[in-house]
Amino acid sequence: MSITIKQLIKWKQQGREIVVLTAWDYPIAEILDEAGVDLILVGDSLATVALGHQTTLPVTLDQMIHHAAAVCRGVKQALVVCDLPFLSYQESAAQALHSAGRILKETNAKAIKLEGGYPAIAETVAKLTTAGIPVMGHVGLTPQSVHRLGYKQQGNTDLARSRIMNEAIALAQAGAFAIILEHIPHDLAAEITAKLAIPTIGIGAGVDCDGQVLVTADLLGLTKKQPPFAKTYTNLRPIVTQAVENYAADVRSRQFPKLD
Ligand code: KIV
């Protein structure tokens, strides 16, 4: 049975941690799903981990849809959520509805995620949820605002803390079903998690969130550089390099293919 949004809320109430990872193609999605990941995010980190960009800004809605459709083909259980990329929703609620509608119609994703909070984004979230589109919020370090905020921890002053708390509350009141908390002080993430009835999913936000997310390319050691809060569970870069070098040596020495 596929995992539903209702299930995520129930898990928060039961104190059962929610496991989230990102995916950008069919084989990765199939592996994550078979390993029992609860929620698979087609994040706009696709721009950096799969398309080679420096930031998430260049990825387009068409590219997100192309990759989300491939991810969905590999998933049987997990809830698939797809990011709305930079400038596909910030202009107006109508633009957001159009973009989110395309994702739901053209892929098998069940929900969208967008960055930012109060007031404009919360109003957009209300319009989307009213139209029947489930929305995940994202506050704290929001990579689409890198040129304004940088890639550093957010919420380090009283003012910034209360702004992030108010954004999270506004998103929940607008109907978001979950919120990503990225790179904020752990006690602030704990406060937000205790305050909201919807699940919080942390990345660099401490252990008190209702779930955790990592960029899968970081977890697998495919990226050259990882953020300070990421954990590399295996280091695939040298393993892949070794396999490719072995293959190249076999081809050059006519060891591959072998005649049977
Ligand atoms: O795009 C992404 O991968 C994300 C996660 C870091 C939460 O938004």
Residue nearest to atom 1 of ligand 1 (CA): 43
Name the DSSP class of 135.
E
- The catalytic residues are 182
Please choose from 18, 21, 22, 115 the residue to mutate so as to test ligand 1's pocket, defined by most ligand atoms within 8 A of CB.
22
Residue nearest to atom 3 of ligand 1 (CA): 43
CA distance 127 to 146: 26
Collapse the DSSP code of 35 into the 3-class scheme (helix H, G, I; strand E, B; otherwise coil) and give the result: coil
Backbone Cα Rg of the chain? 19
Ligand 1 centroid from CA 182, angstroms: 9
- Tell me, what's the pLDDT at 260? 63
Ligand 1 centroid from CA 92, angstroms: 22
Share of the chain above pLDDT 90, in %: 97
- Ligand 1 pocket by C-beta < 6 Å: which residues? 22, 41, 43-45, 83, 180, 203, 213, 215
Nearest alpha carbon to residue 17 among 2, 39, 35, 32 = 39
Average pLDDT over residues 43-69: 98
Average pLDDT over residues 44-70: 98
Asked if pLDDT for residue 45 goes beyond 90, the answer is yes
Residue nearest to atom 8 of ligand 1 (CA): 43
Nearest alpha carbon to residue 210 among 11, 1, 49 = 11
* Closest-lying ligand 1 atom to the alpha carbon of residue 20: 7
- 81-107: pLDDT as tens digits: 999 999 999 999 999 999 999 999 999
- 99-136: pLDDT as tens digits: 999 999 999 999 999 999 888 999 999 999 999 999 99
- Tell me, what's the pLDDT at 43? 98
- 196-233: pLDDT as tens digits: 999 999 999 999 999 999 999 999 999 999 999 999 99
Q: Does domain 5-235 bear CATH number 3.90.120.10?
A: no
Torsion region of 171: left, alpha or beta (phi above 0 gives left; psi -120 to 50 gives alpha) = alpha
Residue nearest to atom 4 of ligand 1 (CA): 43
Ligand 1 centroid from CA 1, angstroms: 25
Question: Nearest 5°: phi and psi at 163?
Answer: -65, -45
- Tell me, what's the pLDDT at 118? 80
CA distance 89 to 85: 8
Confidence (pTM): 0.97
36 in Cβ contact with 19 (< 8 Å): yes
Share of the chain above pLDDT 70, in %: 99
Please choose from 39, 200, 213 the residue to mutate so as to test ligand 1's pocket, defined by most ligand atoms within 8 A of CB.
213
